[in-house]
Amino acid sequence: MPLSVLAITTSPRRHGNSESALDTVLERFSGMSVEKVVLNDLNISPCKGCGKCEKTGECIQKDDYQALAAKIRACDVLIFASPVYSMSVCAQAKALIDRCQVFWSQKYVLKNLPKVVGKKYGMFISTAGQDRMEVFEHTVPVARFLFDVSEISAGRTHLLLLNGLDAKNDFKNSPDAILKAKDAGDNFRKFLESQ
């Protein structure tokens, strides 16, 4: 059975750098079942910190989170793309990650997070305007939280971090960035096929 891939693009700027990098990676996944979600089109409110999920394992806010959370649980491969905003992920990405506190509550407090069948794999894609790799220092650990509560270990997570991409079409105009994204997609696919 082909692996099911869930790709989430989180930038509010459609078809900008992080989404274009994601699309380039996804081109390498032909033959697999791929669903791409545009997070900015969904209604996912920020976590209210009420703590109810630690008691019930559910979020009190009923919005598009529940359906997306089910997809995150069900997929074999989660590819998550975010631009760097103010040294972290963008607000849309952070809102989703914070809402995934429900998984954290189920896993660590209630200890009833349903076991994942088989192994899960992840890739985090991020783009930044600044031309120095340190710009991802805070972004990667934030994304790691999402993979951790989604049962995707660090050893099964690949990274594609592209800096020096600021204007909307910088990725599309950068042969070097496109090559890096193609290589990252090919390497990740080979890794998945070797598992």
Ligand X SMILES: Cc1cc2nc3c(=O)[nH]c(=O)nc-3n(C[C@H](O)[C@H](O)[C@H](O)COP(=O)(O)O)c2cc1C
How many residues sit in the footprint of ligand X (CB under 6 A)? 19
Closest C-alpha to 191, from 124, 140, 121: 121
84 vs 152 by CB, closer to ligand X:
84
Question: Does the protein bind ligand X through residue 157 (CB under 6 A)?
Answer: no
User: Least distance (Å) from ligand X to the CB of residue 24?
Assistant: 12
- Contacts with ligand X in 107-136 (CB under 6 A)? 127-130, 135
Among 87, 116, 133, 179, binds ligand X (CB under 6 A): 87
44's CB contacts (< 8 A; 6+ apart) are 63, 64, 65, 68, 92, 95, 96, 99
Helix, strand, or coil (residue 195): coil
- Amino acid at site 189: R
Cα angle, residue 83 at apex, residues 64 and 80 outer, rounded to 5°: 50
Q: Which is nearer to ligand X, 23 or 76 (CB)?
A: 23
**Is 168 an interacting residue with respect to ligand X (CB under 6 A)?**
yes
Least distance between ligand X and beta carbon 186 (Å): 22
Q: How far apart are CA 81 and CA 93, in angstroms?
A: 8
Q: Give the x-and-dash track for 9-28 against ligand X (CB under 6 A).
A: --x-x--xxxx---------
Cα 70 from Cα 170, distance rounded (Å): 34
Residue written as token pair 């700027």: 13
- Tell me the CA distances in angstroms from 86 to 90, 94, 110, 164, 178, one per residue in order: 8, 12, 34, 15, 24
- Min separation Cβ 107 and ligand X, Å: 30
- Does residue 180 touch ligand X according to CB under 6 A? no
Nearer to ligand X by Cβ, of 15 and 55: the residue is 15
Site residues for ligand X per CB under 6 A: 11, 13, 16-19, 83-87, 127-130, 135, 165-166, 168
